[in-house]
Structure 1
Amino acid sequence: MIYPITAYGDPVLKEEAQDIQQDYPNLQELIDDMFATMYHAHGVGLAAPQISKSIRLFVIDSEPMMDEGDEGKGVKKAFINPEILEETGEEWGFEEGCLSIPGVREVVYRPERIVIRYFDQDWNEHTDTFDGMTARVIQHEYDHIEGILFTDHLNGLKKRLIKNKLSKISKGEVDADYKMKFPALAKKR
């Protein structure tokens, strides 16, 4: 099943998501659907709040973000109840976008390395270190389950410059090549 992507402005994107239990209903199906939804929208990560589920779950496939020569070094996996334990290294800038905020891309600075504890889709616990682009994708998706959007990392001037675009997105005045759910349109019904 392909889910509609929840657009900027929906309160679920600003909530801190809740941990889930091992008996969460149809979890494997949800993870499969999240990967399908992410690929359908040409994304490299998707967090559960982006499909209106306020739970601590996200999926990533960082392979498309790998530089030439780093092919095959991407990571494809689900992260359940993750917790970033450490962020280290020099902060580096990269232009990020978000499926919930189509048409907006801005440079965000993030530390180059993370240590994260999480459960995989088979409920095996891991503590892993990631760096570079994979760390960035994980940090972006992790922010989603913390109620943080990439636009929250921007300075005041940048935020003011994109304010109109964000307002239009929340009202459904945006072109995306995937199905979206808009908060302002839901209120009108």
Structure 2
Amino acid sequence: MKMLKILKYPDKRLRIKAKPVKKINYNIQKIINKMFKIMKKKNGIGLAATQINIHLQIIVIEKLLNINTPMVLINPKIIKKKGKIKFEERCLSIPNKKGIITRSKIIKVSTLNYFGKKYIFQAKSILSICIQHEIDHLIGKLFIDYI
């Protein structure tokens, strides 16, 4: 796989809507592994495949206080929202910008994991914010759209 780079705003490819992953295979897992490497190299806590010009519904998350292991979300869907929370967000695709964004404080998410197993979980606070931020990337939305 060639070296992938994070797209930077105002690159129009950041606005492309990601397609669902139809089959989780070695190639998808290779993309996920590469996403973790890129995210770690850039000191990110979350990365959507759209940000590296792969328009599939894949998100990776790591280095959050309330999760112990790296997370992979494939074809994630928010199925329930509760409460509101404001948080200062940043983005690897929009360096040197930040903004206070209001999001749902608690979300319930349905997704597939690295191996294609479906699971449903609840996220709150920073994890909830991160997931919502990354899901926005999958639909071509950026945090600056909220400002």
Question: Distance between the aligned counterparts of 2:45 and 2:129, measured in 1?
Answer: 11
Query: Is contact 2:17-2:138 (8 Å) kept?
Result: yes
1:129 aligns with 2:122: yes
Aligned to 1:112: 105
What is the DSSP-based 3-state SS (H/G/I as helix, E as strand, rest coil) of the residue aligned with 1:54? coil
Closer, same or farther in 2 for the Cα pair 1:10/1:24, shift >3 Å? Answer: farther
Moved over 3 A (4+): none
Query: Is contact 1:60-1:76 (8 Å) kept?
Result: yes
Query: Is contact 2:24-2:115 (8 Å) kept?
Result: no
Question: Distance between the aligned counterparts of 2:122 and 2:43, measured in 1?
Answer: 26
Aligned to 2:32: 31
| Identity over aligned pairs, percent | 31
Query: Is contact 2:60-2:70 (8 Å) kept?
Result: yes
Closer, same or farther in 2 for the Cα pair 1:4/1:122, shift >3 Å? Answer: same
Higher helix share: 1
Instruction: Please list, as runs of the form range in 1=range in 2, the aligned pairs for 1:167-186 lying within 5 A after superposition.
Output: none
Aligned to 1:175: none
Deviation at 1:25, TM superposition (A): 5.8
Deviation at 1:129, TM superposition (A): 0.8
Match for 2:76: what amino acid? P
Larger Rg: 1
CA RMSD between the two structures: 1.5
Instruction: Please list, as runs of the form range in 1=range in 2, the aligned pairs for 1:1-189 lying within 5 A after superposition.
Output: 3-23=4-24, 26-63=27-64, 66=65, 73-74=66-67, 76-89=70-83, 91-154=84-147
Q: Which region of structure 1 is more displaced relative to structure 2, 22-31 or 125-134?
A: 22-31
Deviation at 1:27, TM superposition (A): 1.1
Deviation string, structure 1 residues 101-125 (Cα, Å, up to 9, x no partner): 0000111111100011110011000
Deviation at 1:13, TM superposition (A): 1.1
Gaps of 5+ in 2: none
Aligned to 1:174: none
Closer, same or farther in 2 for the Cα pair 1:5/1:29, shift >3 Å? Answer: same
Aligned to 1:178: none
Deviation string, structure 1 residues 103-152 (Cα, Å, up to 9, x no partner): 00111111100011110011000111110111111111011001110001
TM-score normalised by L of structure 1: 0.73
Deviation at 1:23, TM superposition (A): 4.8
Question: Distance between the aligned counterparts of 2:31 and 2:62, measured in 1?
Answer: 16
Deviation at 1:62, TM superposition (A): 4.3
The count of residues paired between Structure 1 and Structure 2 equals 145
Query: Is contact 2:85-2:103 (8 Å) kept?
Result: yes
